[in-house]
Amino acid sequence: MKPFQYRKPLSLAEALEALEEENTRILAGGSDLLVEMREGKSHPERIVDVKAIPELACFSIGEDGIIIGGRVTLRQIAESALLQKRCPLLVDAARTVATPQVRNRATLVGNLCTASPAADMAPPLFVLGGVVVVASKEGEQNIPIQSFFTGPKKNCLQPGQLVLRLEIPLLSPGRGVFLKKARVRGHDLATINLAGWVNPRDGAMRVCIGACGPTPVLLAGGDELFRGASGREKLIDGLATLAQAQIAPIDDLRASAAYRRGLVAVFLRRMTRVLFPEEGGWPSA
Amino acid sequence: MLDETPHYTISVEVNGITYTEKVPAQMTLLQFLRQKLYLTGAKEGCGVGECGACTVLLDGRAVDACLVLAVEADEASVRTVEGEGRDGELTLLQRAFIEHGAVQCGFCTSGILLSAQGLLESNPHPDREEIIEAISGNLCRCTGYVQILEAIEAVARNGEELG
């Protein structure tokens, strides 16, 4: 690693001041940034450690939604009994990320900021309608998670901006499922990952597929398909058609594009069977 | 490029002793332990948080010391394998590793001991799945893991007297 200046601001104002400087990177858990630096892919001249900023420590799971601050680690999420009860989808995803050692440091917000197309925390937050709350000297800004991801390992943050927290608005009663395929558990990024969420009462269905495009793909048309579906097999077929038209997987070291397309079909079937354990009760049956 | 390497003074408790040292910004906690304090039990395997050979307990939690900056450990408490046995007495885990043949080349051993110790201190009676999960960030290329799991399970059965 090349030398750099290290700062650990104790207040948000001080941090935002420090982030105005050129060639500055934000350090939270360090499990992505330090690897990048050690591999020579990034050479920041200044590092701002955000772990002492009080505003980033919030972690609340209430009636009106879920708030996860920028300092909250994946271990905190994986071990939250309340979150397990209110939003098991997030807990399931957090438990699959990397290793216990990494989860003890890595943060959910950091996972999003790295913006890997394979980020495991992204599909659940896409289907749950997560909002990224960003601070800068100009004030706060709410960014829907879909707009936050702009390309492979690219997010929409501008220099001088810092993510304060992730918010998930009031959860209507629904159920979700997270699925992930990795070559070696804990030691590789996802070959693909997928989150599905359904609220039968409102006729809402959302599916997000990761590692099958430059950013996670939130399937368009899920609600209409669900409302019109007359049975589980019909829904699986319809979702497969939607997905294959919207994903754009590539060949890389983890899998070929064709293998990913095959996996997506398998995962959609598996997801649908978990979300709808019974055959009956279809909106238009 | 910076003209000079910035240095920072940190105060960190390692195995019960507080050290105050000046470190360069880019020094990792692992380099600090090995090169400044000569505590070479934690190893550098991959250097990118995959193998777990550098596992230490940072404020009681298992972390990869290769992915923590020494400056980040300021005011923190660190435990390495050197501090686990005291006054010539091995810990229960260390004795169990010997009895079950859980050590072969030894490169991964100090990291796995700390991962297991961290688990048993927060969950004294883990089941096999929980043990597998807790050491899933530690690679061993010799044992095939079975003896390691057996050693940790043996201690988990008598979790209260963990020393």
pLDDT for A184 equals 83
- Which residue bears the tokens 């990291």? B111
pLDDT for A202 equals 87
Q: Rg of the Cα trace of chain B?
A: 16
Sequence spans of domains, chain B: 7-80, 92-161
Chain A to chain B Cβ contacts (< 8 Å): 89
Strand positions, DSSP E, chain B: 7-14, 17-24, 55-58, 61-64, 77-79
Domain that holds residue A35: 5-49
Residue A93 and residue A42 share a domain: no
pLDDT for B1 equals 58
Q: Around Cβ A137, how many Cβ atoms within 10 Å?
A: 11
Whether residue A258 is contained in a domain is answered as yes
Most confident of A136-150, A266-280, B149-163: A136-150
Judging contacts by C-beta atoms under 8 Å, the chain A residues touching residue B64 are: 99, 101-102, 105
For residue A185, give both structure tokens: 């558990």
Q: Around Cβ B153, how many Cβ atoms within 10 Å?
A: 15
Q: Are A20 and B33 in contact (CB under 8 A)?
A: no
Q: pLDDT: is A1 or A266 the higher one?
A: A266
pLDDT for B163 equals 44
Which of A6, A35, A75 lies closest to B25 in CB terms? A6
Whether residue A223 is contained in a domain is answered as yes
Burial of B82 (0-12, 13-18, 19+ CB in 10 A): middle
pLDDT for A285 equals 58
In the three-class reduction of DSSP (H, G, I as helix; E, B as strand; rest coil), residue B112 is classed as helix
Residue A240 and residue A160 share a domain: no
Fold of B7-80: Ubiquitin-like (UB roll) (3.10.20)
pLDDT for B146 equals 97
Tens of pLDDT along A57-81?
999 998 889 999 999 999 999 999 9
Amino acid at B124: P
Distance of CA B117 to CAs B52, B55, B84, B93, B125, Å? 14, 11, 9, 8, 12
Q: How are the residues of chain A apportioned to helix, strand and coil, as percentages rounded to the nearest 5?
A: 35, 25, 40
- In chain B, which residues have pLDDT < 50? 163
Tell me the angle at which helices A232-246 and A257-275 cross, rounded to the nearest 10 degrees.
150
**Contact yes or no for B25 and A35 at CB 8 A:** no
Q: How many domains does chain A have?
A: 3
Residue A257 and residue A165 share a domain: no
Tell me the angle at which helices B146-157 and B92-99 cross, rounded to the nearest 10 degrees.
140
pLDDT for A284 equals 64
Just give the CATH number of B92-161: 1.10.150.120
Q: Given A108, A141, A169, which residue is the final one in a domain?
A: A169
- A170 pLDDT band, cuts 50/70/90, is confident
Judging contacts by C-beta atoms under 8 Å, the chain A residues touching residue B58 are: 104
Return d(Cα A4, Cα B24) in angstroms, integer.
Answer: 9
Judging contacts by C-beta atoms under 8 Å, the chain B residues touching residue A47 are: 25
For residue A254, give both structure tokens: 């983890």
Residue A203 and residue A160 share a domain: no
What region does A127 belong to: left with phi over 0, alpha with psi -120 to 50, or beta? alpha
pLDDT for B36 equals 98
CB-based contact (8 Å) between A101 and chain B? yes
**Percentage of the residues of chain A whose pLDDT score is greater than 70:** 98
Which of B24, B52, B66 lies closest to A99 in CB terms? B52
Residues 81-100 of B with CB under 8 A from A: none
Weakest-pLDDT range from A53-57, A154-158, A223-227, B75-79: A223-227
Residue A161 and residue A183 share a domain: no
Judging contacts by C-beta atoms under 8 Å, the chain A residues touching residue B26 are: 1-4, 37
* For range A87-91, the mean pLDDT: 95
pLDDT for B82 equals 97
pTM, to two decimals:
0.95
Return d(Cα A213, Cα A216) in angstroms, integer.
Answer: 6
Measure A276 CA to nearest chain B CA, in Å. Answer: 28
Weakest-pLDDT range from A182-186, A264-268, B143-147: A182-186
Q: Around Cβ A265, how many Cβ atoms within 10 Å?
A: 15
Q: pLDDT: is A188 or A220 the higher one?
A: A220
Residues 21-40 of A with CB under 8 A from B: 27, 30-31, 34-35, 37-39
**Contact yes or no for B71 and A6 at CB 8 A:** yes
Q: What is the DSSP letter of B4?
A: S
Measure A6 CA to nearest chain B CA, in Å. Answer: 6
Measure B122 CA to nearest chain A CA, in Å. Answer: 12
Q: Are A163 and A186 in contact (CB under 8 A)?
A: no
Residue A245 and residue A196 share a domain: yes
How far apart, in Å, do the first and last CA atoms of chain A sit?
Answer: 62
